[in-house]
Chains A and B, each alone.
Chain A
Amino acid sequence: MTAFWVLSVILIASAIWTISARKPVYSVVALLLNFAALAATYLTLSAEFLAVMQIIVYSGAILVLFVFVIALLSSGVAPFAAGPNRLPKAITPAIFVVLAAFGFLYYALKSVTAASIGAAGQAVAPIGAVGTADVFGSVADFGRALFTVWLLPFEVTALILMVAVIGVVLLAGDRAPYVATPRRARQVEREMREAILRGGE
């Protein structure tokens, strides 16, 4: 109970810091705090494997990618100048979003307070040794579900990652065909000239 409220204060504060930080690097730091608090929340919900995945994938891979891109874009030029306030332009969708938020909150708190986590009558697995197959949320439990019942979605994950890799290489690779950088334009021009010369022989 106490852990939940402490973690939710950390989660909300770091989320607000993420979207309000002046520089993107501070946003990354705030997001790191958010992900760590979320991993701790997963632990209180007895999702051990997901907590570890949260740390490894989000903090270890995605945030490092963000840091690399920030370093890449900030070198040489200053791309992030402070601009005009966007709030007047976004005020209409913002009002709709706030109304939807309060409606959702009202509905949620109104309808599902009856079901309580770990309350009497709920079938929650007993606390046992970590890693045992019949303990809810353990690695063995998760792995058995993932590789038996949910095998097809797991295989689709591989397809998604492969599409992402191909897309990233196509978009940001060195020989990206759809980007007209000056260097690429010069290279294409030289290749075309050489091809014309070869055709004349």
Chain B
Amino acid sequence: MTVPIGDYVGLASVLFFIGVAGVLLRRNPLIMLMSIELMFNAANLLFVAFSRVWAANAGHVFAFLVITVAAAEAAIGLAIVVTVFRAEKNVDVDEVRSLRG
């Protein structure tokens, strides 16, 4: 159990930026939502790792709240995807233009 905290920060930032790359590069809204989940999880990993370093369980509570918010976000995002698909028969984020100003 002597992993430096910097390694956890590095791992979490690699995971976070893989998620950012997924949101930027993919056109499928489902995979974009999954990339957002990857970013949530990277933040959670940092919360848990720093909570372990300082032996304070506030980080665990924060990670719990982040999991809750991620669940709500996934549900609403998927509902929006289903709604857009019903209206347009298409979920490609480059093709769906009805919400642009």
A residues apposed to B, CB below 8 Å: 1, 4, 8, 11-12, 15-16, 18-19, 21, 24, 27-28, 31, 34-35, 38, 41-42, 44-47, 49-50, 53-54, 57-58, 61-62, 65-66, 69-70, 72-73, 77, 79-81, 83, 86-87, 90, 93-94, 97-98, 100-101, 104-105, 108-109, 112-113, 115-119, 122-125, 136-137, 141-142, 145-146, 149-150, 153-154, 157, 160-161, 163-165, 167-168, 171-172, 176, 179-181
Contact = CB atoms under 8 A, between A and B. Distances in A.
Contact of A117 (B3, B44, B82): B3
B48 A50 contact: yes
B70 to A, nearest CB: 7
Question: Which of A31, A137, A141, A168 has most chain B Cβ within 10 Å?
Answer: A168
B31 A27 contact: yes
Contact of A164 (B27, B30, B72): B72
A148 B1 CA distance: 30
Interface of B: 1-11, 13-15, 17-22, 24-28, 30-31, 33-35, 37-38, 41, 44-45, 48-49, 51-55, 57-58, 60-61, 63-65, 67-76, 78-83, 85-87, 89-92, 94
B61 A97 contact: no
B41 A125 contact: no
Q: Is the interface of B mostly helix, strand, loop or mixed?
A: helix
Q: Is the interface of A mostly helix, strand, loop or mixed?
A: helix
B38 A161 contact: no
Nearest to A109: B6
A164 B74 CA distance: 9
